[in-house]
């Protein structure tokens, strides 16, 4: 028996959860359930996190969480429970299989069968945003080596134990050479440990276009958080419907399983919603807790039901579908097919013996770190970079010299273009004279002189070399 936490959520959540639990219990799932309340009611009771402390205790004790969709109330102040859960519990891997159900569910891609493995904790989703000037707001994109190693290894291990042939990496490292560059570099390092699995890297824009056009060209695709968020919905939609996909959120200790769609409030209480997305989430959960035999039985019965044309309204199509059914009738149809294999689709078999080899991250030996300079970000409402350079040069000292000014990343001094549009947010780069670097004391001196000269510094960013290699971007046009 495995004790799991269940949240029935909002909108259609309770109906699809009841249907899902009924099916997996009928299939012999060995689970005991602790139910918790999350979502709208909790939010509206004044808890902006949407979950009570006692519920966290239950989730952390049981470690396995099956969650129906919830409604995040409109208006400010409410935190997304999904994002909070993923980050609090360290659920670093979001896994979303997207396979077409042709010819029973319409799709332009009958042979599509891909799995998106999305990094789930970092990137722009660190949620660190600041307004720095009247005109400019920044969001920090954080990519860490442990984050990259964990997700990329997860993707290769997933491929290995599921007999997948290829892992593709999508990044935008032609532009973000440091952050996405690290993701790509770690991908290449880890790919080398899996000689039997093909690997490739695509720049995200053309990769996404290719995936939307020819998804059969891909197998497992691993990517950083934001790209994965967008493309996993695209993948689910082009496979047939976002209403049919489930996903898992996997951490070192805990895991959460869900449908990918929302709470569809307009359909709530009508017994019409399709429980398939949540059922797919529950199947991923059964595999995760070592009940692959039950997962297999449920998946094959579900495939058989889809094949028989027994469809809820969202996928019902005259000529293809045979019977339009309610949520509960769909669940009963799946239950009556338990033990039967699909006849058109290939019956699934899950690997019951192989387990993933996911060693804990080990911190590397620290590199030699040299301070080469500093970027001072200045709030200045003027428009002439030459004029700003004259003011900023006044704060230089014997060691730290102004070497460049950029505006939104593009070099505007020295030798800028008059045509470049400038905001009130300027990056002034100081470097050590004669390449010898600078000290922290030099930075403090620069800041102190800036205060005296009424220069409004909104942020500083140190420029380092790690093991002798400069580890910061150049100005565009530099
Ligand atoms: P949604 O996914 O709830 O609905 C989009 C469309 O798909 C609607 O037309 C809906 O009727 C249909 N649909 C969705 N699931 C269906 C199902 N199982 N069966 C049949 N039809 C289905 O997206 P939305 O309308 O943008 O969001 C509604 C609420 O859900 C919002 O409060 C949002 O914040 C929340 N939401 C929650 C989650 C989650 O908890 N994981 C995810 C996304 C959205």
- Listing DSSP states for 312-381 in one string gives -TTT--TTT-SEE--HHHHHHHHHHTTTPPPSSSPPP---SS-----PPP-PPPPPPEEEEEEEEEEE--
Query: Around Cβ 210, how many Cβ atoms within 10 Å?
Result: 15
246 close to ligand 1 (CB < 6 Angstrom): no
Q: How far apart are CA 399 and CA 443, in angstroms?
A: 10
Regarding the beta carbon of 315 and ligand 1, being less than 6 Å apart is answered no
Q: Residue 285, SS3?
A: helix
Domain ranges in the chain are 1-79+240-357, 108-229, 369-470
Q: How far is the CA of 158 from the centre of ligand 1 (A)?
A: 28
Pairing type for strands 255-259 and 246-250 reads antiparallel
Fold category of 108-229 in CATH: Rossmann fold (3.40.50)
Cα 334 to Cα 27, 279, 319, 358: the distances in Å are 10, 11, 21, 35
Per the prediction, the chain carries an average pLDDT of 95
State the pLDDT at residue 434: 67
Please report where in the chains the tokens 């044309």 appear, as a residue: 309
Nearest CA to ligand 1 atom 25: 264
- Neighbour count for residue 74 (Cβ, 10 Å): 6
What is the C-alpha separation between 101 and 308, in angstroms, rounded?
12
Q: CA triplet 245, 247, 249: central angle to 5 degrees? A: 170
Going from the Cα of 242 to the center of ligand 1, the distance in angstroms, rounded, reads 9
406 CB within 6 A, ligand 1: no
pLDDT of the chain, 478 residues: tens digit per residue: 999 999 999 999 999 999 999 999 999 999 999 999 999 999 988 888 899 999 999 999 999 999 999 998 887 778 888 888 988 899 999 999 999 999 999 899 999 999 999 999 999 988 899 999 999 999 999 999 999 999 999 999 999 999 999 999 999 999 999 999 999 999 999 999 999 999 999 999 999 999 999 999 999 999 999 999 999 999 999 998 788 999 999 999 999 999 999 999 999 999 999 999 999 999 999 999 999 999 999 999 999 999 999 999 999 999 999 999 999 999 999 999 999 999 999 999 998 888 899 999 999 999 999 999 999 999 999 999 999 999 999 999 989 999 999 999 999 999 999 899 999 999 999 999 867 789 999 999 999 999 999 999 999 999 999 999 999 998 877 7
CA-nearest residue, atom 41 of ligand 1: 69
Residues forming beta bridges with residue 167, ordered by sequence position: 199, 220
Strands 400-407 and 469-470, sheet pairing: unpaired
pLDDT at residue 7, as a whole number: 97
Topology of the domain comprising 1-79+240-357: Isopropylmalate Dehydrogenase (3.40.718)
Instruction: Give the chain's length.
Output: 478
Q: Ligand 1: distance of its center to the CA of 236 in Å?
A: 14
Query: Ligand 1, atom 30: nearest CA belongs to which residue?
Result: 262
Which residue's CA lies nearest to atom 13 of ligand 1? 264
Do the Cβ atoms of 100 and 303 come closer than 8 Å? no
From 12, 74, 120, 262, mutation site for ligand 1 pocket: most ligand atoms within 8 A of C-beta: 262
pTM of the model: 0.94
Query: In the beta sheet, which residues pair with residue 97?
Result: 115
Predicted local distance difference test score (pLDDT) of residue 213: 97
Does domain 369-470 fall under CATH 3.30.70.1570? My reply is: yes
Quote the tokens at residue 451. Answer: 């205060």
Take atom 44 of ligand 1 and give the residue whose Cα is closest. Answer: 262
Does the beta carbon of 69 sit less than 6 angstroms from any atom of ligand 1?
Answer: yes
- What spacing in Å lies between the alpha carbon of 259 and ligand 1's midpoint? 10
What does the pLDDT look like over 96-120, one tens digit per residue?
A: 999 999 999 989 999 999 999 999 9
The CB-side HSE value for 119 (13 A sphere, CA atoms) comes to 30
């Amino acid at each position: 028996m495995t004790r799991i936490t269940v949240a029935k959520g909002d909108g259609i959540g309770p109906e699809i959860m009841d249907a899902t639990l009924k099916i997996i219990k009928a299939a012999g799932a060995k689970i005991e359930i602790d139910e918790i309340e999350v979502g709208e009611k909790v939010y509206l009771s004044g808890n902006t996190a949407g979950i009570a402390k006692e519920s966290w205790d239950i989730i952390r004790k049981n470690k396995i969480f099956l969650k129906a969709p919830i409604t995040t109330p409109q208006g400010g102040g409410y935190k997304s429970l999904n994002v909070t859960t993923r980050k609090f519990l360290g659920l670093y891997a979001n896994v979303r299989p997207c396979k077409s159900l042709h010819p029973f569910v319409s799709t332009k891609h009958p042979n599509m069968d891909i799995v998106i493995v999305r990094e789930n904790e970092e990137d722009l989703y660190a949620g660190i945003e600041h307004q720095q000037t009247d005109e400019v707001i920044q969001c920090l994109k954080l990519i860490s080596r442990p984050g990259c190693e964990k997700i990329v290894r997860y993707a290769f291990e997933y491929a290995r134990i599921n007999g997948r042939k290829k892992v593709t990496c999508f990044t935008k490292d032609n532009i973000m050479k440091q952050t996405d560059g690290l993701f790509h570099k770690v991908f290449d390092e880890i790919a080398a440990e899996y000689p039997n699995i093909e690997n490739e890297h695509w720049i995200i824009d053309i990769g996404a276009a290719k995936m939307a056009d020819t998804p059969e060209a891909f197998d497992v695709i691993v990517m950083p958080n934001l790209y994965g968020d967008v493309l996993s919905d695209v993948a689910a939609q082009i496979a047939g419907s976002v209403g049919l996909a489930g996903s898992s959120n996997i951490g070192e200790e805990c895991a959460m399983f869900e449908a990918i769609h929302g709470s569809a409030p307009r359909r709530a209480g009508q017994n019409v919603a399709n429980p398939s997305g949540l059922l797919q989430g529950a199947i991923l959960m059964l595999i995760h807790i070592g009940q692959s035999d039950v997962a297999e039985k449920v998946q094959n019965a579900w495939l058989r039901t889809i094949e028989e044309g027994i469809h809820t309204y969202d996928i019902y199509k005259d000529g293809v579908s045979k019977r339009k059914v309610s949520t509960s009738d769909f669940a009963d149809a799946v239950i009556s097919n338990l033990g039967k294999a699909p006849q058109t689709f290939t019956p699934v078999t899950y690997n019951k013996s192989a387990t993933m080899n996911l060693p804990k991250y080990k911190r590397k030996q620290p590199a030699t770190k040299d301070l080469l300079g500093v970027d001072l970000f200045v709030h200045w409402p003027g428009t002439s970079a030459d004029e700003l350079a004259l003011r900023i040069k006044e704060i230089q000292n014997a060691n730290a010299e102004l070497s460049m000014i950029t505006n939104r990343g593009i070099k505007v001094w020295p030798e800028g273009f008059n045509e470049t549009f400038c905001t009130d947010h300027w990056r002034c780069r100081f470097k050590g004279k004669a390449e010898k670097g600078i000290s922290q004391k030099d930075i403090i001196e620069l800041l102190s002189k800036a205060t005296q000269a009424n220069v409004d510094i909104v942020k500083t960013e140190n420029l380092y070399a790690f093991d002798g290699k400069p580890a910061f971007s150049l100005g565009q046009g530099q």
